[in-house]
Structure 1
Amino acid sequence: MRSIFLEFLLAFVATAQSAAVPSSHVLHEKRDPASSKQWVRREKLASTEILPMRIGLKQRNLHRGHDFLMDNSHPDSANYGKHWTSSQIIDMFAPEQKSVDAVQEWLDGFGIGPRRVSRSQNKGWLAFDATTEAEESLLHTEYHHYEHRSLGHTTLACESYHLPKHIQEHVDYITPGIKLFASTKNRRNLKRGFAAGELSTCDEFITPACIRSLYNVPEIPEYAKTGPRVDNSMGVFEEGDFYSPKDLEKDLFFANFTPRIPRGTRPIPALIDGSDLHTDVLWAGGESNLDFQLAYPLIFPQNITLFQTDDRYYAATAGPRSGFFNTFLDGIDESYCKYSAFGETGDDSKLDPKYPDPMVWGFQGKTMCGVFKPTKVISISYGGQESDLPAYYQQRQCNEFMKLGLQGHSVFFASGDTGVAGAPRPLLGKDRCLGPNSTIFSPAWPNTCPYVTNVGATKVFPNRSVRDPESAVVDPPGHPWRVAYSSGGGFSNIYARPDYQKHAVSKYLRDHKPPYPCYESISNSSFDKHGGLFNRLGRAYPDVAANGDNIVVYINGEFQISGGTSASTPIFAFLINRINELHLNAGKSTVGFINPALYSHPEMLNDITNGTNPGCGTAGFSAAPGWDPVTGLGTPNFPKMVKLFMNLP
């Protein structure tokens, strides 16, 4: 009887506390209405529903992360190439004990004692389960279901939440929180039909021979003479898309373009959280086939590691979850697994995949944490928009990329296929742009993170050869793709411009001033009130470019052409993997985070000066001499890149 009365009293207190925000509390996060126009708020969550709460603590020294990374990645630094260990990363950035103690004391006041709370491996998160009613009381908020207007996907979130004033300084952000998210793949639709040709047809069909000729890449890598290192496999991320071994086999792609690659050559599977390999040709995916058919001709006999994430159920619905990339980061870094409570380990049970999965073909194990060793080069052709997620969430994920860079890893992202806009809304076919009138340019995520390398797309002009300068991709609707395609690029609304690119970007803005008004603000929700279309202070992207149009692929046993920055990205990444092999064979470290070296030595790239990236009712930005927000610093000149990097420690 006493316990029943106590539960009633706690419930009454919780209801009273959530009714109004006391003066002791402050607003911690509030969603920008412009970022959620495609989401409809539905019914309120039941008060008894159990939610997993994760409190991200403010980590120490994150403000020094940029300097640490520049210290071991800038070619002029005495510490270039001296990469960190994972234990050094944890020790440097772990939150202060006073933050842990302050937050726990706050939770104690709500009956959430230390025995209910667990701490993540990287020491950055506190996690526990609680009812919706208890969490609403704790944060003075309300949780609702949200439905995406066009995709139909659902998630849960709140509009805003509050923290005690003395607690706010210790907390980064909290989930479930304000984030709503729908991701996209940066790949074009496929066009059927292809007649095999040689270099004379590279303006129509890009083959491995065309790529090698464009960027002066020897067909047989130098390391092929002695054999590649087994620990220098190239990493490729895939979600919800599967490569077809039969399309790679000797009688298909390899036989036509690289007969030296033997039958049976396949990537090393790193299958995360119940992901599967669908070997039937009917499962062949354009994204995965494109990645591997571009990769092997450039790096063989070096191998490729396939980081395939999530089981069939989650893979089939990949995209609307806020934890996109998180299961991958969990899988390669045990410390990144943020949530652990009551014997279960994993991510947000409402927004991220939840394992064990009770669905048919569901993965019956727990979320994998640190099971696979990350490769030193990772190519990722998926992403979304900055406006899809709150800044806190993106910054925390960005810090993981910074930590990977400190340990000598190079992470490449496709810059996007819709110019200065977001990907078109399904069914509506309209650009996704920002602001009340949908006119403000929409930067991509996680592309604007300063610690990744972005790759834009170029093409060979019609009736030109591989020896002529390339152009930025600008393909109007129907020529040849169903929808318009142009290389993604622009300026962040979250991240300030990093030091390594300040000179190059400032020069572009001064010498090739875009014909649009701009604003100056580092905030995902603070857009200019006077018609500015882009943030001239933000981290600029892309960093580099490579060919991404009219790429020949084999899909379902047929020749087709494909394209997108998802083609450009693996091309550039694979060349860095080849350079890593040369570095390692010379007794050097891997090249790690390459942006400082790229911007310090742009002469190792082919400058692209033609093309634009239209979107949001404008012609977008224009390519120009030097860096530009369409093709970055330019395309690879492999011999020059090898010479530069081999002259570094």
Structure 2
Amino acid sequence: MHFLFLSFIAAAVWGFAQARVVPASHLLHEKREHAGTGNWVKRARTAPHVKVPVRIGLRQNQYALSQAQQWLMNVSHPGSENYGQHWTQEDVINTFAPSDDSTVAVKEWLATALPSREITHTKNKAWLAFDATVQELENLVHAEYYEHHNGDRAMISCEKYHVPASVKEHIDYITPGVKGVHFESKDLKKRSRRPNQDGSGYASRNGRQPPQIRPAINTPLQQDQLDTCDQIITPACLQALYDFEPLPPNATISPNNSLGVFEEGDYYSQADLDSFFTNFTSYIPNGTHPVLDSIDGGMAPVVISLSGGESDLDFQLAIPVIYPQTTTLFQTDDTYYGLQLDPNVTGIFNTFLDAIDGSYCTYSAYGETGDDPILDPVYPDPNLPPPNGYQGQRQCGVYAPTNVISISYGEQEEDLPAYYQQRQCNEFLKLGLQGVSIFVASGDTGVGGLAGHGSANGCLRNGTVFSPTHPNSCPWLTNVGATKVYPGRTVYEPESAANDPAGHPYHNAFSSSGGFSNIFTVPDYQAFAVQTYFADHNPPYPYYNDGQYNTSDGLYNRNGRGIPDVAANGDNIAVYARGRLATQGGTSASAPIFAALVTRINEERISAGKGPIGFINPVLYQHPEILNDIVNGTNPGCGTSGFDAVPGWDPVTGLGTPNYPKMLSLFMSLP
């Protein structure tokens, strides 16, 4: 580590010379609640001449926030006369923009304090942006700014700052502030670092284990063979389970109805896709592949030796369901961040959401404006040179969201701050308003989490409290649990909840994650289903309310949003990975199956002159009869057998698995 001596001396003199007196006209706006910022180490006072980008997040439109859920239901509930009348992105930006009063008040303050300074009002109308020296900023908000370092990363922040009483109600958040901003300058201390990993191998994204995998022990002799579906699930098995047929290879399709698939730190191989098509879906020509929307340096495909079990699985499941419809790959983050070579960057999805909605890059909510300065990647990437390190600016609004998005990644709620998850959840709501359906794998660890997340066994408090998953707890997503065709059963019999003890057949235990959020309450559309579950099938465990598990002997949150919403097969799935036929297990398989079937339904609606389904949950909870109810199985964890799959909704398999003809008939009957 090297110190620039003159800068250090200047900062020291600046710190001693200034006695920070806060005028009576100003009020404290934010103060750091905890001493320290994780692994970041506080260093010297920042030199006064250093220029920093200043962003002032304007207070959100409170009326819009109070009405947002109602607006989403207005376009998503089957009983609404406005069903399917989704908003444009411009509608969303204008509606949620801060009030004109807030913009005028803050601009007037800045014009007085920093005359002749060019102030930019961002496109989403949520930020005022300008550059200032540290001395100007400290005088503006009556604060003292310090450098914080974590390895080779530098950040500027303060312990507290103040704003005039006349504008306090109009300002949500200022950066740099209590939450700092990453910054590179010759005047900041810096050292170089390179990762000691080569990026090979399967990726495990934060608190979500990769799909379970083992060599296939029984290969079907024919592509349409169904008598081995209790041992290996092929496209033919899925067609029989959910009663659909492949589309004709020459079918006319909409150019605007691609199925989007999120990937991060895991990469598909074209050779693996071709092997799968050759052996299981000969109607799909070799070379068929997703359209790549590369986000912040995401690269795909890769050579077969570097392919990952997740990406290969997603596309080998989704493409056979929708072909000749297309898939779009949202490959997110460069190698350094995608493979989590920085263990401190534990956030997820923000850079993806930035890329499909430019307004999210500067969106202020729950005390956070834009991406988190500690938890999210920083671009240009200071850690790796190109091509593995992305050297461009963070991508904002460069791609349009697809009508349907499948996500097989996630963490536990415990892994991320509540404000981080709440801000993301608002964005998922806004995407729902625009007609985007988002399907997320519920997780593979039953009612618990991975070991080491929350406690040694992955459960909360003393290792007994159930651990909900993220982003699944957000009410504006559709969570997909996993089912299984058990040995000796056929595709014409009801499935059961997936539940495989460790060693049988996979190395790690696998069961469909489910439970109740500690952050989000039960949404209105789900309330009756959850109430009925408790009334008719009350779990035998003590519970708590409002997420307060640390002050209770309860094991789950009684008034939390229920997880999952639906289910699909997720065990013994046939997949070619790194050139070999294997079987995999995980809700990672369930999400793209359900998402692909909804993409098929959207295609039919578009052909009939209608729009996409959008946020699907209100329709599903009003019409559970269009799903196959799953009434057998559990999702054990935390020293318990977990919850039971029962008639109606349950926190194991939700409302059940797809019945494609019934789903198609209902959604075609809606406007």
- TM-score normalised by the chain length of structure 1: 0.85
> SS of the counterpart of 2:311?
helix
> SS of the counterpart of 2:238?
helix
Is contact 1:186–1:414 with CA below 8 Å preserved after alignment?
no
Give 5+ residue unaligned stretches, structure 1: 148-152
- Where do residues 15-414 of structure 1 align in structure 2 (5 Å cutoff)? 24-25=27-28, 30=33, 41=39, 43-48=41-46, 56-60=57-61, 61-100=64-103, 115=117, 118-126=120-128, 169-170=169-170, 172=172, 183-185=206-208, 187-197=210-220, 198-220=225-247, 226-249=251-274, 252-317=275-340, 320-321=344-345, 323-338=347-362, 347=371, 350-358=374-382, 359-361=384-386, 362-414=389-441
Q: CA deviation at 1:157?
A: 11
Equivalent of 2:664 in 638, 642, 648? 642
Is contact 2:630–2:647 with CA below 8 Å preserved after alignment?
yes
CA distance 1:116–1:228, shift in 2 (3 Å): same
Partner of 1:622: 644
Cα distance between partner residues in 2 of 1:434 and 1:163: 37
Is contact 1:127–1:339 with CA below 8 Å preserved after alignment?
no
Is contact 1:205–1:550 with CA below 8 Å preserved after alignment?
yes
Cα distance between partner residues in 1 of 2:168 and 2:376: 25
Q: CA deviation at 1:351?
A: 4.0
CA distance 1:545–1:389, shift in 2 (3 Å): same
Q: CA deviation at 1:87?
A: 0.9
Q: CA deviation at 1:28?
A: 6.7
Partner of 1:540: 562
Q: CA deviation at 1:120?
A: 3.5
Cα distance between partner residues in 1 of 2:417 and 2:574: 38
C-alpha offsets along residues 168-191 of structure 1, whole Å, 9 cap, x if unaligned? 654556677679xx8344532321
Taking only aligned residues, the RMSD between alpha carbons, in angstroms, comes to 3.7
Q: CA deviation at 1:400?
A: 1.2
CA distance 1:413–1:119, shift in 2 (3 Å): farther
Deviating more after overlay: 48-57 vs 310-319 = 48-57
Cα distance between partner residues in 2 of 1:339 and 1:138: 25
CA distance 1:537–1:348, shift in 2 (3 Å): closer
Partner of 1:150: none
Cα distance between partner residues in 1 of 2:470 and 2:30: 25
CA distance 1:634–1:97, shift in 2 (3 Å): same
> SS of the counterpart of 1:403?
helix
Q: CA deviation at 1:478?
A: 1.2
Partner of 2:193: none
> SS of the counterpart of 2:123?
coil
Cα distance between partner residues in 2 of 1:399 and 1:467: 40
Letter in 2 for 1:337: C
1:434 and 2:435 aligned: no
Q: CA deviation at 1:368?
A: 1.7
Partner of 1:446: 471
CA distance 1:156–1:474, shift in 2 (3 Å): farther
Cα distance between partner residues in 2 of 1:113 and 1:470: 69
Letter in 2 for 1:59: Q
C-alpha offsets along residues 275-307 of structure 1, whole Å, 9 cap, x if unaligned? 222431112111100000001111101010001
Letter in 1 for 2:507: R
Q: CA deviation at 1:626?
A: 0.4
Letter in 2 for 1:86: Q
- Where do residues 561-572 of structure 1 align in structure 2 (5 Å cutoff)? 561-572=583-594
CA distance 1:157–1:626, shift in 2 (3 Å): farther
Cα distance between partner residues in 1 of 2:598 and 2:147: 45
CA distance 1:296–1:546, shift in 2 (3 Å): same
Is contact 2:447–2:636 with CA below 8 Å preserved after alignment?
yes
Cα distance between partner residues in 2 of 1:463 and 1:157: 62
Cα distance between partner residues in 2 of 1:385 and 1:174: 29
Q: CA deviation at 1:454?
A: 0.6
- TM-score normalised by the chain length of structure 2: 0.83
Letter in 2 for 1:489: G
> SS of the counterpart of 1:539?
strand
> SS of the counterpart of 1:201?
coil
Deviating more after overlay: 263-272 vs 124-133 = 124-133
> SS of the counterpart of 1:365?
coil
CA distance 1:237–1:142, shift in 2 (3 Å): same
Cα distance between partner residues in 2 of 1:199 and 1:294: 17
Cα distance between partner residues in 2 of 1:634 and 1:549: 16
Cα distance between partner residues in 1 of 2:491 and 2:144: 61
Partner of 1:11: 15
CA distance 1:398–1:42, shift in 2 (3 Å): closer
Cα distance between partner residues in 2 of 1:395 and 1:13: 41
Cα distance between partner residues in 1 of 2:574 and 2:340: 28
Cα distance between partner residues in 2 of 1:412 and 1:255: 28
CA distance 1:394–1:99, shift in 2 (3 Å): farther
Q: CA deviation at 1:350?
A: 4.9
Is contact 2:46–2:146 with CA below 8 Å preserved after alignment?
no
Deviating more after overlay: 588-597 vs 349-358 = 349-358
Is contact 1:132–1:143 with CA below 8 Å preserved after alignment?
no
Cα distance between partner residues in 2 of 1:486 and 1:56: 42
1:501 and 2:526 aligned: yes
Bigger RCO of structures 1 and 2 (CA < 8 A, at least 6 apart): 1
1:603 and 2:625 aligned: yes
CA distance 1:155–1:528, shift in 2 (3 Å): farther
- Count of aligned positions: 618
CA distance 1:159–1:369, shift in 2 (3 Å): closer
CA distance 1:355–1:580, shift in 2 (3 Å): same
Letter in 2 for 1:580: N
Cα distance between partner residues in 2 of 1:29 and 1:575: 47
Cα distance between partner residues in 1 of 2:480 and 2:381: 35
C-alpha offsets along residues 50-80 of structure 1, whole Å, 9 cap, x if unaligned? 8866554432111211100100010110000
Bigger-Rg structure (1/2): 2
Q: CA deviation at 1:25?
A: 3.3
1:584 and 2:606 aligned: yes
Is contact 1:604–1:637 with CA below 8 Å preserved after alignment?
yes
Q: CA deviation at 1:360?
A: 1.9
> SS of the counterpart of 1:199?
coil
- Where do residues 474-485 of structure 1 align in structure 2 (5 Å cutoff)? 474-485=499-510
Is contact 1:187–1:565 with CA below 8 Å preserved after alignment?
no
Cα distance between partner residues in 2 of 1:549 and 1:595: 24
CA distance 1:314–1:439, shift in 2 (3 Å): same
Deviating more after overlay: 416-425 vs 89-98 = 416-425
Give 5+ residue unaligned stretches, structure 2: 1-7, 181-204
Q: CA deviation at 1:5?
A: 13
Equivalent of 2:549 in 527, 533, 548? 527
